[in-house]
Structure 1
């Protein structure tokens, strides 16, 4: 898992760490940005703790956290990560993704997911990528479905959010053989980057 960055014409994903996370401090403080997540990032202290947890996971080889740089706007846009990496079973999650409201709906997220899926399946030799999202988060669910994620089920009342609400979590998956098709259909315009 010795990866430094993933990049195409639109986005650059670099390793997130304690030396660079302050680039997204203003974005992390946007109101309700992670309302469907159990993560707290809205204060400088909370964001630093969030990043420290990600860095710890990186050193334990359970996650690879990224800082998202939007090349079109020449600015940092948020964070994402590979997480719950299980090399024995060749499965991982793409999650802990948040980008500022001004970047949502611009195509940035699709570029991020293309780079991450390509790296997971073609470099890490992962056989399945999962996405876990709050059942109420329709925008994220539609985005996952748009890139080929298949709803595999719903874990009922399995994660507490910061406000005490216990969410139902939708589990989506993409298999390696599905990726071989998706990269020539859903992501056909991305292969030239």
Structure 2
């Protein structure tokens, strides 16, 4: 790999800052609201023990970010790059979530644009896994112009397999 999947990315409003172990409490504060996970395949991530596993996977991925409001310094959520495939010149973006205070504010398209603009310097294809019943995230993918490639079974880090929709965006 000739690039970093955990570099600082920012625009005038938001920063994607590499996630560190010391970010657990502030990120869990955002994630501890059950509404954040109500459409997600793993609906119990609001529980501390379950979120600890999620966070461990984020740190071990070495591609995770905290999403921060530049003006207030407030933690808004998290996202990551993962599963870089050099042979197929592709990578995944996912594990994205936002606290409910960020919903409906058009933050996600700006974050995805930051990530896509950066990563398309290095890969030709970006994939996304979205829970089959996660209508909010599926709608977001369609608004980004992602192509629905159908259902795929996905095992998230330390969690059981679930049916997801695989989306694709080409450079």
The question of a shared fold, defined as TM-score above 0.5 by the shorter chain, is answered with: yes
Which structure exhibits the higher relative contact order, with contacts defined as CA atoms closer than 8 Å and separated by 6 or more residues? Answer: 2
Following superposition, the deviation at residue 22 of structure 1 comes to 2.0
Return closer, same or farther for 1:136/1:50 CA change in 2, 3 Å cut-off.
closer
Q: Is the CA contact 1:16–1:51 (under 8 Å) kept in the aligned structure 2? A: no
Match of 1:120 in 2: 119
Q: Is the CA contact 1:39–1:50 (under 8 Å) kept in the aligned structure 2? A: no
Q: What count of residue pairs does the alignment treat as equivalent?
A: 165
Normalization by structure 1: what TM-score? 0.76
Following superposition, the deviation at residue 47 of structure 1 comes to 3.0
Q: In structure 2, which of residues 58, 61, 79 is the aligned counterpart of residue 57 of structure 1?
A: 61
RMSD of the alignment, in Å? 2.4
The whole-number CA distance in structure 1 between the counterparts of 2:161 and 2:53 is 22
Structure 2, unaligned runs of 5 or more:
none
Return closer, same or farther for 1:32/1:167 CA change in 2, 3 Å cut-off.
farther
The whole-number CA distance in structure 1 between the counterparts of 2:47 and 2:53 is 10
Task: Kindly name which structure, 1 or 2, has the bigger radius of gyration based on alpha carbons.
Answer: 1
Match of 2:168 in 1: 173
Match of 1:141 in 2: 138
Normalization by structure 2: what TM-score? 0.84
Following superposition, the deviation at residue 159 of structure 1 comes to 4.3
The whole-number CA distance in structure 1 between the counterparts of 2:50 and 2:160 is 19
Following superposition, the deviation at residue 67 of structure 1 comes to 0.4
The whole-number CA distance in structure 2 between the counterparts of 1:39 and 1:94 is 20
Structure 1, unaligned runs of 5 or more:
59-63, 177-193
Following superposition, the deviation at residue 173 of structure 1 comes to 0.5
For residues 148-159 of structure 1, the aligned pairs below 5 Å read 148-155=145-152, 158-159=153-154
Return closer, same or farther for 1:136/1:46 CA change in 2, 3 Å cut-off.
closer
